[in-house]
Amino acid sequence: MKQPYLKFCFGAMGCGKTRKLQGDYYSKVQDGFEAIVIKPSIDVKGDNNTLARDGGSVETTFLINKKDNIYIKIANYLLEHNLDFILVDEAQFLEGHHVEELSNVVDILGINVICYGLRTDFKGNLFEGSKRLFEMADPLEPIIRQCSCGNNKIYNMRLYDGVPVFEGEQVAIDGVDATYESVCRKCYKDAKKKVLSRSKVKEFKK
Ligand SMILES: [Zn+2]
C-alpha cells in the first residue's frame, strides 16, 4: 500500500509553481480524489484565490495565519469533509511549526500534502518554511527553468524600477511592493557586483 507523503516542489519565481499546483489540483479532482488548496495569509496576491501568472485561478479553502495550528484546522475540517490531498501554495511563507503540523497531517491523519514554494529569498537565503520543508519533506521535486545564460534559475533578484536591490526586508510581494527576475547563481553574482561597484563610484564622487 502506498503511504501518504509530504512533498515539496520548489523553484525560482516565475518557474510555473502555481501553474503546476493548479494542474495537480485539477488532475487529482478528475481522478476522483478530494483535494483542497491552502496558503499562508501573508501572500496578498489574489486574496482567497491561488493565482498563476497566466491568469488561471483555484479557490483557496482557507488561509493560514502565523499562529494557526494546521493540524487542528485539518482535523476539524475532517469532521465534515473527506480529504485525500492538501496543496499548499506559497509554502516558503509557512512557519517552521506549520511544516511540523503538516507532517503530522500526513503521518497521523493519513492525508497527502504537497507544498509549492520558493527555495530562497532575494538575498539567496532559505525562507523559514522552505528550510523546514527541506529538512522534513520527502519527496523533493525541483521545478527547473533555464536562465538566459543556460544555467538553471535558482535566485530571485528583487527589482525596484527595474534596478536590482540586495538590501531590505525578506518579504516584498511580487507586483505589489517590488518586481522580481529569476536568474542563475552566476548572473545573480554578476548583477550584484555591478550594483555594488556603481554605488562605490557614487560614494567616490560625493
Ligand atoms: Zn544566468
The residue ranges of every structural domain in the chain are 6-205
The answer to whether residues 163 and 31 touch, using CB atoms and an 8 Å cutoff, is: no
For residues 84, 89, 43 and 157, what is the CA-based torsion angle, rounded to 10 degrees?
170
CA of 193 to the centre of ligand 1 (A): 14
Task: State the pairing for strand pair 140-142/6-11.
Answer: parallel
Instruction: For 121-173, write each residue's pLDDT tens digit.
Output: 999 999 999 999 999 999 999 999 999 999 999 999 999 988 999 999 988 87
C-alpha cell at 102: 503538516
Instruction: For 51-63, write each residue's pLDDT tens digit.
Output: 666 667 788 999 9
CA of 187 to the centre of ligand 1 (A): 4
Please provide the size of the chain in residues.
206
- As assigned by CATH, the class of the 6-205 domain is alpha beta
pTM here is 0.90
CA of 190 to the centre of ligand 1 (A): 9
Active-site annotation, residues: 90
**What's the order of all strands across the beta sheet hosting 163-165?**
163-165, 155-160, 179-183
Instruction: For 85-128, write each residue's pLDDT tens digit.
Output: 999 999 999 999 999 999 999 999 999 999 999 999 999 999 99
> What pLDDT is recorded for position 140?
98
> What pLDDT is recorded for position 175?
74
